[in-house]
Amino acid sequence: MSVASHTVPSLASLDHTHAAHARSWVDSGAGHGDFPLQNLPLGVMEIDGTPRVVVAIGEHMVDLPAARDHQALGGLTPATVAALGQPDLNAWMALSAAERTALRHAVFALLSADSDFARRPAPVRDAVVRPRDEGRSVLPARIGDYTDFYAGIHHATNAGRFFRPDMPLLPNYKHVPIGYHGRSSTIEISGSPVHRPQGQVRPQSDAPPVFQHSRKLDFELELAIWISGGNPRGQPIAMDQAETAIAGFGLLNDWSARDIQAWEYQPLGPFLAKNFLSTVSPWVVTSDAMAPFRAMPMARGADDPQPLPYLQGAQGSGLGLDIALEVTLSTEAMRARGLEPQRLSRTNAAFLWWTPAQLLAHHTSGGCALRPGDLFGTGTISGERPDSLGSLLELTQGGRHALTLASGEERLFLQAGDELRITGRCERKGFQPIGLGVCSGRVLD
Amino acid sequence: MSVASHTVPSLASLDHTHAAHARSWVDSGAGHGDFPLQNLPLGVMEIDGTPRVVVAIGEHMVDLPAARDHQALGGLTPATVAALGQPDLNAWMALSAAERTALRHAVFALLSADSDFARRPAPVRDAVVRPRDEGRSVLPARIGDYTDFYAGIHHATNAGRFFRPDMPLLPNYKHVPIGYHGRSSTIEISGSPVHRPQGQVRPQSDAPPVFQHSRKLDFELELAIWISGGNPRGQPIAMDQAETAIAGFGLLNDWSARDIQAWEYQPLGPFLAKNFLSTVSPWVVTSDAMAPFRAMPMARGADDPQPLPYLQGAQGSGLGLDIALEVTLSTEAMRARGLEPQRLSRTNAAFLWWTPAQLLAHHTSGGCALRPGDLFGTGTISGERPDSLGSLLELTQGGRHALTLASGEERLFLQAGDELRITGRCERKGFQPIGLGVCSGRVLD
């Protein structure tokens, strides 16, 4: 599901790190998968029990503090050098956009085929560039605040239809970015176990509620947006500065208990139905890496309102994202029978009604302070077709029509042993494709 | 507005620190105001530029790291000793309830009239017990997550009436504690300036929305509940353990922009209408200090549902709080004319439908992790009478009937220069009264 016809040159000028022909000396898997030399996402890996800031390259990683200690990274400011020694990416996120770009250039130089570093002694190379399976991914940042938006317009329409058949989209939707605050204490890294929550539900509307394990456990396919430069309370970030306040992107699964949600959500929104777990992918794919894969904002119809001025900068509404997204399901029975995971949905980040810059400008427009390490979810991203929906709520039409899997099993909602995998991939003619990695989780009842 | 008839002996056994006759050797204001020897709330004060953990006594404070350094605090565990040297109360909140009680006993011993410490040399005493105006209050804790509940049933009824005249309280209200996640980055200490937010509003329902400064700036009178011991994700805290996971109580003003709220809040709840600022009082009045002022939970009517078993422990629903709450307004014109602040409302924490233990047990019932330093707001606390309402929304009946102030001015919502002060006071026959201090803020347009 490509929206390549919509793609446009990015705000950020492209540079040598985006050249399609560039290759790394690191021999690490066919084509380096999601993480070729043009990507260089940052993450945090626990290595020998200690969290370290790393960059992914193919199936390897660059241990940035080790690279720094071996004088393998040039042109960094003292603040950048200090950030590499931290146990999380918060200090890196607090750097200026120019400092983050300079680090990208330094890592690119270290890894590119013509690098001087490639000719250094093997023990030095091996201390700096290590197989990724020597570490264990942990959360990239201490998340101060987590905000979940609702910017996927098809999801908002589909979900709204279950509650309000006559008015799926509320009157405010196309005017104001809808979002709500989420829970940062239960955001965990991809792969973390998914415990089915208990909660108060009311299965029959004429009977009292009961407390039981959720029977409507669902996933939500979202993008993660990592926030960099913060703003003091009372000082909004204007549209034209908004992109520099974004550190990068990832994948997010906003696990949801639909039966708990239906009973608790009025009038103040979802609460326990969402805060038992949200899972993020380990890698922060930087704004720089994403530059070739930006797209025009989602097209407005003739009857649709234009964004208010505070949601339009000199570059208009800012740029959207062209990221092909996919979610697969593998059940216990499928794995036992050696069946491949089954694709539930293919969609694209282009179905976001608001651009990342608009989400950020809106969030701060009333003076709300953002801090480096804050996280946004975009909201569930669904396309228009039945095979492009970002949640089981939509795929099963509100739990009414079961999916039949290749194993012959049926699913309305998730069962014990079910494993969800969300992936994201960026392709554009003339550029090396990159990926966002994986956001996965298995349900343990 | 006393609910003394409802008060009951607390869960926590009372001890010598609650004896009404106990007095301190510290000469500090008539009756020591809100902070007599029986209170001993903790806070953090910046002294000579450094944040330090302190305890309030009258108009003085005990500098706890100084007291520790002078061997003036006995019987503390190593974890407690370490917590006193931190720049915030998070480590203190992470202590066990027994450790927090032991610290209370040690500070009580230091300050009580028969203390050995009172006979130590004046320079030592002066290094440990200092006038409070030598410091500046800062936030007591790094707040990980902030949750705002909606447990004030009269407020929920009044606010609901403006939106749904035929069904002010939704069907879920008396069954499930309603709450939502708030923003921790914009929680600030009492006295912080209140900037009127800009935001998207739709003043006329048949015209497009506009972006402008809020014209419906409001306050909300709430209690703050500071969380101590945390729980790992997936491990609920049961009702009978819930009280030990509460470190203490304070006052909270959940400043609100009603016009922004009305336009943005559907379907996911309030967002920018609330996240421009919330103000908390500086002092954490400990669970131990509150023990004499616990009350029976709010009475249920014959038709009201009983709480589900997960909201009832061996002690039933847990204990409520008997705290008399008051909010005053002083305008620029009133101050210029030397008029006293005008009382807008008197209410009581007894009007909370759910006990603190129920809020906490519910919050964790689906597996949500709490961390030391997390903050709950109770939701706005209104009484039943017109002079006991906890917001201007209610006091002006939705902005329709202006209040006339002693200065002759009228108010529907807050104007530039308006200063709000929330106070809380606990009284019970046979006990020394204590107070929660002040939560104030002045509107700066």
| Of A144, A130, A107, nearest in space to A45 by CA | A130
> What are the chain A neighbours of B172 within 8 Å (beta carbons)?
202, 209, 263-264, 266
Taking CA–CA distances from A177, the nearest residue in chain B reads B264
Region A282-286: mean pLDDT is 98
> Which tokens is B203 given?
């003043």
Q: Is the pLDDT of residue A43 over 70?
A: yes
Distance, in Å, from the CA atom of A163 to the CA atom of A182, rounded to the nearest integer, reads 22
HSE (side-chain half, CA atoms, 13 Å) at B220: 27
Q: Is the pLDDT of residue B4 over 60?
A: no
Q: Residue A404 has what pLDDT? A: 97
Distance, in Å, from the CA atom of A133 to the CA atom of A190, rounded to the nearest integer, reads 15
Interchain proximity B276–A234, CB inside 8 Å: yes
Taking CA–CA distances from A373, the nearest residue in chain B reads B185
Interchain proximity A180–B179, CB inside 8 Å: no
Interchain proximity A272–B366, CB inside 8 Å: yes
Interchain proximity B308–A257, CB inside 8 Å: no
Q: Residue B12 has what pLDDT? A: 57
User: Which residues are within 8 A (CB) of A119 and not within 5 positions of it... i.e. 6 or more apart?
Assistant: none
> What are the chain A neighbours of B362 within 8 Å (beta carbons)?
200, 272
> Which tokens is A247 given?
């550190």
> Which tokens is A189 given?
């890294």
Mean pLDDT of chain A: 95
> What are the chain A neighbours of B144 within 8 Å (beta carbons)?
184-185
pLDDT in tens, B377-435: 999 999 999 999 999 999 999 999 999 999 999 999 999 999 999 999 999 999 999 99
Region A277-292: mean pLDDT is 98
pLDDT in tens, B215-250: 999 999 999 999 997 899 999 999 999 999 999 999
Q: How far away is chain A from the Cα of B38, in angstroms, using its nearest Cα?
A: 34
b/e code B110-134 from CB counts within 10 Å (16+ = b) = bbbeebebeeeeeeebeebbbebee
**Which of B181, B197, B273 lies at the smallest CB-CB distance from A183?**
B181
**Which of A160, A233, A265 lies at the smallest CB-CB distance from B186?**
A233
**Which of A186, A236, A371 lies at the smallest CB-CB distance from B185?**
A371
**Which of B185, B209, B370 lies at the smallest CB-CB distance from A176?**
B209
**Which of A172, A198, A268 lies at the smallest CB-CB distance from B264?**
A172
Distance, in Å, from the CA atom of B41 to the CA atom of B366, rounded to the nearest integer, reads 32
Q: How far away is chain B from the Cα of A352, in angstroms, using its nearest Cα?
A: 17
> What are the chain B neighbours of A370 within 8 Å (beta carbons)?
185
Residue pair B352/B322 in contact by the 8 Å Cβ criterion:
no
pLDDT interval class at B31 (50, 70, 90):
confident
Distance, in Å, from the CA atom of A411 to the CA atom of A332, rounded to the nearest integer, reads 13
The reported pTM is: 0.96
Interchain proximity B271–A180, CB inside 8 Å: yes
Q: Residue B30 has what pLDDT? A: 80
Interchain proximity A368–B268, CB inside 8 Å: no
pLDDT in tens, A307-318: 999 999 987 999
> What are the chain B neighbours of A176 within 8 Å (beta carbons)?
200, 209, 263-264
User: Which residues are within 8 A (CB) of A354 and not within 5 positions of it... i.e. 6 or more apart?
Assistant: A149, A151, A177, A297, A311, A317, A362
Q: How far away is chain B from the Cα of A3, in angstroms, using its nearest Cα?
A: 29
Residue pair A273/A261 in contact by the 8 Å Cβ criterion:
yes
Residue type (1 letter), B32? H
Name the active-site residue from B155, B175, B195, B363: B155
Distance, in Å, from the CA atom of B114 to the CA atom of B117, rounded to the nearest integer, reads 9
Q: How far away is chain A from the Cα of B438, in angstroms, using its nearest Cα?
A: 22
pLDDT in tens, B81-117: 999 999 999 999 999 999 999 999 999 999 999 999 9
Interchain proximity B236–A198, CB inside 8 Å: yes
Q: Residue B189 has what pLDDT? A: 98
Residue type (1 letter), B55? V
**Which of B268, B308, B371 lies at the smallest CB-CB distance from A185?**
B371
Q: How far away is chain B from the Cα of A329, in angstroms, using its nearest Cα?
A: 23
Q: Is the pLDDT of residue B2 over 50?
A: no
Q: Which residue has the higher pLDDT, B415 or A5?
A: B415
Q: Which residues of A are catalytic?
A: 155
3-state secondary structure (DSSP) of residue B270? coil
Q: Residue A164 has what pLDDT? A: 80
Distance, in Å, from the CA atom of A397 to the CA atom of A391, rounded to the nearest integer, reads 10
pLDDT interval class at B345 (50, 70, 90):
very high
Q: Residue A2 has what pLDDT? A: 40
B21 is catalytic: no
Best of B148, B158, B183 to substitute, by most chain A Cβ atoms within 10 angstroms, is B183
pLDDT in tens, B140-197: 999 999 999 999 999 999 999 887 888 899 999 999 999 999 999 999 999 999 999 9
Interchain proximity B185–A233, CB inside 8 Å: yes
Interchain proximity A195–B272, CB inside 8 Å: no
- A&B contacts, CB < 8 Å: 190
Distance, in Å, from the CA atom of B106 to the CA atom of B128, rounded to the nearest integer, reads 14
- The β-bridge relationship of strands A246-253 and A285-286 is antiparallel
pLDDT interval class at B1 (50, 70, 90):
very low
> What are the chain B neighbours of A197 within 8 Å (beta carbons)?
366-367
Taking CA–CA distances from B144, the nearest residue in chain A reads A144
Distance, in Å, from the CA atom of B224 to the CA atom of B253, rounded to the nearest integer, reads 9
Predicted-complex ipTM score = 0.96
Q: Is the pLDDT of residue A163 over 50?
A: yes
Distance, in Å, from the CA atom of B82 to the CA atom of A239, rounded to the nearest integer, reads 45
Residue pair B380/B152 in contact by the 8 Å Cβ criterion:
yes
**Which of B266, B277, B362 lies at the smallest CB-CB distance from A170?**
B266
Q: Residue A10 has what pLDDT? A: 54
- Bridge partners of A268, per DSSP, are none
Q: How far away is chain A from the Cα of B182, in angstroms, using its nearest Cα?
A: 6
Q: Is the pLDDT of residue A251 over 90?
A: yes
Q: Which residue has the higher pLDDT, B185 or B12?
A: B185
Q: Is the pLDDT of residue A192 over 60?
A: yes
- Bridge partners of B211, per DSSP, are B200
Region A55-79: mean pLDDT is 97
Distance of CA A340 to the CA centre of its chain: 24
Distance, in Å, from the CA atom of B443 to the CA atom of B194, rounded to the nearest integer, reads 5
pLDDT interval class at A3 (50, 70, 90):
very low
Mean pLDDT of chain B: 95
pLDDT in tens, B301-342: 999 999 999 999 987 999 999 999 999 999 999 999 999 999
Please state, for a pLDDT cut of 90, what percent of chain A lies above it.
Answer: 93
Interchain proximity B263–A368, CB inside 8 Å: no
> Which tokens is B47 given?
């002294």
